[in-house]
């Protein structure tokens, strides 16, 4: 458009090293000048689970300030945009060559990242403080997912909301095949959990490595998310709390997510435990670029 301003962006696949797997993310690495409405419009137009916008940091020692939007709203924090944005700023040379740690500023606060390697890329974020919230009738949640009470992992594992900035409802099932049969009925869930406000419903079955999972978030404009980093820290807290993994410092697990929708993602978790108490969960994964593109805004600054 004559007189318009052009913004570059990349689409990267996150929590994978394989193009066209993992969770796609659009990253605008130079978003200065974009307003709230423009960012929301661009996120809606690109229609990915999230789009991130990179700004200069408020604190000069930090790498960048990042704002994250779903097609419907802004998020305080999200895992795959954090890892994907870290990949973009690192490959653009904005992280010093010898640096192995840096901070991204997000609406939830500063997010510490540990850079394990650059090629192939692998970075770890430190999950924000986690808290256990409401529990709901697990059998009712199973029905809302098109499953039966007999499909649940067992009575010892309640349907529990755990949050690290974004709350997720965790529901445990007995095996992978059961997880793959699930389909969320939002109205049925509302009957089980009136006023339900969590960011999504995260369902899983234990595996030798950790879990096999799916995450439904129609309330955020995402029917099913291929990889949910902001849920993987709380997932680790759930697994440790209910004895599905050993609660020890350095304990590891893998969240395999997105396989059902042909976007296989591997999200790695490391428990950080002190004096028998879980302090945080590091969440790590890879990323790979698949698209370089630009978008031009009109004379009035609107998409």
Q: What is the pLDDT of residues 262-273, one digit of tens each?
A: 999 999 999 999
Number of structural domains (the chain) is 2
DSSP 49: S
CB 290 within 8 A of CB 12: yes
- pLDDT the model gives residue 298: 76
Mean pLDDT across the chain, nearest whole number? 94
CB 209 within 8 A of CB 178: no
Residue 24 resides in a domain = yes
Whether pLDDT at 179 is above 90: yes
Strand 287-297 and strand 5-14: the pairing is antiparallel
CB 59 within 8 A of CB 32: no
Q: What CATH code is carried by the domain that includes residue 105?
A: 3.10.310.10
Catalytic (active site) residue 50: yes
Q: Which of 50, 105, 106, 256 is catalytic?
A: 50
- pLDDT the model gives residue 197: 82
Instruction: Tell whether 276 and 146 lie within a shared domain.
Output: yes
Instruction: Tell whether 73 and 210 lie within a shared domain.
Output: no
Instruction: Tell whether 56 and 183 lie within a shared domain.
Output: no
Structural domain that includes position 24? 5-128+287-297
Whether pLDDT at 1 is above 50: no
Instruction: Tell whether 110 and 136 lie within a shared domain.
Output: no
Compute, in degrees rounded to 10, the torsion defined by CA atoms 195, 78, 202, 72: 50
Mean pLDDT check: name the lowest of 38-42, 78-82, 175-179, 255-259.
78-82
Instruction: Tell whether 238 and 252 lie within a shared domain.
Output: yes
Assess whether the previous peptide bond of 284 is cis (omega < 30° from 0).
no
Instruction: Tell whether 148 and 30 lie within a shared domain.
Output: no
- pLDDT the model gives residue 3: 53
Question: d(Cα 189, Cα 18) in Å, to the nearest integer?
Answer: 35
Q: Please, what is the end-to-end C-alpha distance for the chain in angstroms?
A: 10
User: Which stretches of 99-211 are DSSP H helices?
Assistant: 138-144, 176-181, 186-192
Residue 302 resides in a domain = no
- pLDDT the model gives residue 149: 97
Instruction: Tell whether 174 and 198 lie within a shared domain.
Output: yes
- pLDDT the model gives residue 194: 87
Residue 77 resides in a domain = yes
Question: d(Cα 27, Cα 29) in Å, to the nearest integer?
Answer: 6
Burial class (CB in 10 A: 0-12, 13-18, 19+), 225: buried
pLDDT, one tens digit per residue, over 69-109 is: 999 899 988 899 999 999 999 999 999 989 999 999 999 89
Residue 303 resides in a domain = no
Q: At 267, is the secondary structure helix, strand, or coil?
A: strand
pLDDT, one tens digit per residue, over 184-234 is: 999 999 999 888 888 899 999 999 999 999 999 887 778 899 999 999 999
pLDDT tier for residue 49 given thresholds of 50, 70 and 90: confident
Whether pLDDT at 300 is above 80: no
Which residues 6+ apart lie within 8 Å of 83 measured at CB?
14, 15, 123, 125, 229, 283, 284, 285, 287
pLDDT tier for residue 297 given thresholds of 50, 70 and 90: confident
The structure tokens listed for 97 are 């060559």
pLDDT, one tens digit per residue, over 228-254 is: 999 999 999 999 999 999 999 999 999
Backbone angles phi, psi at 89, to 5 degrees: -65, -30
Mean pLDDT value of segment 128-137: 94
Instruction: Tell whether 174 and 86 lie within a shared domain.
Output: no
Whether pLDDT at 153 is above 60: yes
- pLDDT the model gives residue 196: 82
Whether pLDDT at 17 is above 60: yes
Backbone angles phi, psi at 14, to 5 degrees: -115, 150
The structure tokens listed for 243 are 């004895």
Question: d(Cα 226, Cα 168) in Å, to the nearest integer?
Answer: 15
Question: Which has more pLDDT, 300 or 10?
Answer: 10
Instruction: Tell whether 32 and 166 lie within a shared domain.
Output: no
Instruction: Tell whether 51 and 106 lie within a shared domain.
Output: yes
Residue 57 resides in a domain = yes
Sole residue written with tokens 């890892």 = 83
User: At 38, which helix (H) or strand (E)?
Assistant: helix 36-46
């Amino acid at each position: 458009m004559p007189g318009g301003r052009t913004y570059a962006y990349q689409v990267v696949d996150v929590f994978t090293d394989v193009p066209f797997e993992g969770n796609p993310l659009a990253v605008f690495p130079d978003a200065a000048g974009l307003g709230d409405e423009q960012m929301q419009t661009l996120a809606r137009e690109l229609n990915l689970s999230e789009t991130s916008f990179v700004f200069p940091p408020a604190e000069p020692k930090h790498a960048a300030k990042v704002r994250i939007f779903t097609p419907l709203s802004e998020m305080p924090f999200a895992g795959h945009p954090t890892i994907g944005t870290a990949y973009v700023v690192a490959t653009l040379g904005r992280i010093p060559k010898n640096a192995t740690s840096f901070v991204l500023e997000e609406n939830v606060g500063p997010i510490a990242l540990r850079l394990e390697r650059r090629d192939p890329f692998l970075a770890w974020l430190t999950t924000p403080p986690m808290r256990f919230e409401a529990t709901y009738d697990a059998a009712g949640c199973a029905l809302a997912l098109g499953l039966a009470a007999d499909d649940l992992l067992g009575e010892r594992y309640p349907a529990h909301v755990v949050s690290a900035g974004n709350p997720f409802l965790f529901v445990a099932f007995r095996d992978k095949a059961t997880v793959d049969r699930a389909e969320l009925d939002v109205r049925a869930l509302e009957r089980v959990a009136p006023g339900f406000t969590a960011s999504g419903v995260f369902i899983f079955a234990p595996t030798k490595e950790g879990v096999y999972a799916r995450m439904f978030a129609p309330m955020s404009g995402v029917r099913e998310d291929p990889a949910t980093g902001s849920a993987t820290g709380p997932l680790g807290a759930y697994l440790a709390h209910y004895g599905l993994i050993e609660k020890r410092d350095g304990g590891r697990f893998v969240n395999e997510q997105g396989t059902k929708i042909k976007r296989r993602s591997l999200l790695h978790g490391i428990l950080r435990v002190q004096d028998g108490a879980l302090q945080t969960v590091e969440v790590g994964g890879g990323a790979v670029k698949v698209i370089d593109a630009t978008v031009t805004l009109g004379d009035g600054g609107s998409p």
